[in-house]
């Protein structure tokens, strides 16, 4: 009966079979068991090969020119689509003078692509105008560039040197005018530091009551107090502290005694305990003659 156990083929004399792998095969197998090495072989080498090929291709000047042209053509094809075109501009909230100034400063030619608009730079350009408190710049649906301006409203004219400056309720200069008559409805202030006390000046103008048509303006004296100038060269000298109460006293005297209709040049209220008046020369002469005749 034939044996069921397989017999090994006889080995040639002098040759010994070693089942263990060779040294280099063993090292390779160990490396392939390392995750980092496997990642290098499967990912790193292909990436390195792609980078090498791309670098070799891009170093060719003709290839670079062709790639640049294709990118530019693709960019232009996207940017010049009708839905990205801006066809006009609207300025809201600005008076005609400020609108003209904004148009001159912006200097845009339409139509143009919205990708060519630097909205932040446009906003900075408009915000530089003193008359602008705030501004919002955006592209509206339909291709209109909208510039919404929150314009400062001038409340007084400040004469500073030879200039007539418009200022708002916060004392911010909003513009210049050439003639006082251009803003005759606004009160006039003058002197160094006048704009920094605009709140007090407006309160004094509001308290003039019956003599308001005669008031020509307020002059800041020494950057600490006001002189109110009336027609007929009359002047009311107001104190540093609580000038509104002092003006109320003068108005009350005027309503009771027609004080400001008399030949009074100066009403000095700087010392609340002792108000004084300076009369005109004709009035002083009359008083002197009256005193001499007594």
Task: Pick 72 or 235 by higher pLDDT.
Answer: 235
Question: Which residue in the block uniquely carries the two structure tokens 């004709």?
Answer: 282
What pLDDT does 18 receive? Answer: 58
Structure tokens at 248: 């109320």
Structure tokens at 228: 């109110």
Query: What is the C-alpha to C-alpha distance for residues 16 and 38, in angstroms, rounded to an integer?
Result: 34
Distance of CA 202 to the CA centre of its chain: 26
CA atoms within 13 A on the CB side of 222: 6
Distances (CA, A) of 107 to 101, 104, 117, 122, 288: 10, 6, 12, 10, 71
pLDDT digits (tens, 9 = 90+) for 23-69: 777 777 777 778 887 888 788 888 888 988 888 888 888 888 887 88
What pLDDT does 290 receive? Answer: 61
Query: What is the C-alpha to C-alpha distance for residues 121 and 137, in angstroms, rounded to an integer?
Result: 10
229-239 b/e (C-beta count within 10 Å ≥ 16 → b) = bbeeebbbbbb
Rg of the Cα trace of the chain?
A: 45
Sign of the CA dihedral with 201 first, then 206, 207, and 208 last: positive
Structure tokens at 71: 């990118």
Least confident of 66-75, 95-104, 143-152, 266-275: 66-75
pLDDT digits (tens, 9 = 90+) for 115-163: 888 999 999 999 999 899 999 999 988 889 999 999 999 999 999 988 9
The fold of 154-280 is Rossmann fold (3.40.50)
What average pLDDT does the structure give for the chain?
86
Q: Please answer whether residues 95 and 149 qualify as being in contact, where contact means their C-beta atoms are separated by less than 8 angstroms.
A: no
Helix (H, G, I), strand (E, B), or coil: what is residue 146? strand
Region 274-284: mean pLDDT is 81
Q: How confident is the model at residue 19 (pLDDT cuts 50, 70, 90)?
A: low
What pLDDT does 11 receive? Answer: 54
Q: Which residues pair with 236 in a beta bridge?
A: 228, 267
Residue extent(s) of CATH 3.10.20.310 domains in the chain: 83-151
pLDDT digits (tens, 9 = 90+) for 164-179: 999 999 999 998 899 9
Q: Is the pLDDT of residue 16 over 60?
A: no
Query: What is the C-alpha to C-alpha distance for residues 171 and 104, in angstroms, rounded to an integer?
Result: 26
What pLDDT does 283 receive? Answer: 64
CA atoms within 13 A on the CB side of 294: 6
In the chain, the percentage of residues whose pLDDT exceeds 70 is 86
Q: Which residues pair with 156 in a beta bridge?
A: 167
What does CATH list as the number for 83-151?
A: 3.10.20.310
Residue extent(s) of CATH 3.40.50.11690 domains in the chain: 154-280
CA atoms within 13 A on the CB side of 14: 0
Distance of CA 241 to the CA centre of its chain: 36
Region 200-205: mean pLDDT is 96
- Full-model pTM: 0.66
Q: How confident is the model at residue 9 (pLDDT cuts 50, 70, 90)?
A: low
Region 288-294: mean pLDDT is 66
What pLDDT does 1 receive? Answer: 42
Distance of CA 170 to the CA centre of its chain: 16
């Amino acid at each position: 009966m034939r044996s069921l156990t397989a017999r090994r083929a006889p080995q040639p004399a002098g040759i010994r079979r070693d089942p263990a792998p060779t040294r280099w095969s063993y090292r390779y197998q160990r490396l392939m068991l390392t995750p980092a090495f496997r990642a290098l072989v499967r990912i790193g080498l292909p990436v390195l090969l792609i980078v090498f090929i791309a670098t070799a291709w891009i170093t060719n000047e003709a290839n670079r020119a062709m790639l640049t042209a294709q990118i530019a053509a693709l960019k232009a094809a996207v940017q010049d689509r009708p839905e990205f075109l801006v066809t006009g501009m609207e300025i809201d909230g600005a008076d005609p003078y400020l609108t003209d100034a904004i148009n001159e400063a912006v200097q845009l030619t339409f139509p143009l692509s919205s990708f060519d608009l630097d909205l932040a730079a446009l906003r900075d350009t408009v915000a530089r105008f003193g008359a602008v408190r705030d501004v919002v710049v955006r592209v509206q649906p339909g291709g209109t560039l909208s510039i919404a301006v929150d314009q400062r409203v001038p409340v007084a004219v400040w004469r500073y040197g030879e200039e007539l400056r418009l200022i708002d309720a916060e004392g911010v200069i909003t513009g210049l005018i050439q003639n006082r008559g251009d803003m005759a409805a606004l009160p006039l202030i003058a002197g160094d530091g006048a704009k920094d006390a605009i709140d007090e000046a407006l309160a004094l103008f509001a308290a003039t009551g019956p003599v308001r048509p005669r008031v020509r303006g307020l002059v800041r004296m020494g950057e600490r107090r006001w002189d109110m100038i009336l027609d007929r060269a009359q002047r009311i000298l107001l104190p540093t502290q609580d000038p509104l109460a002092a003006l109320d006293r003068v108005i009350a005297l005027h309503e009771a005694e027609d004080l400001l209709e008399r030949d009074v040049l100066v009403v000095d209220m700087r010392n609340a305990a002792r108000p004084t008046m300076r009369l005109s020369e004709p009035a002083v002469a009359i008083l002197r003659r009256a005193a001499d005749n007594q």
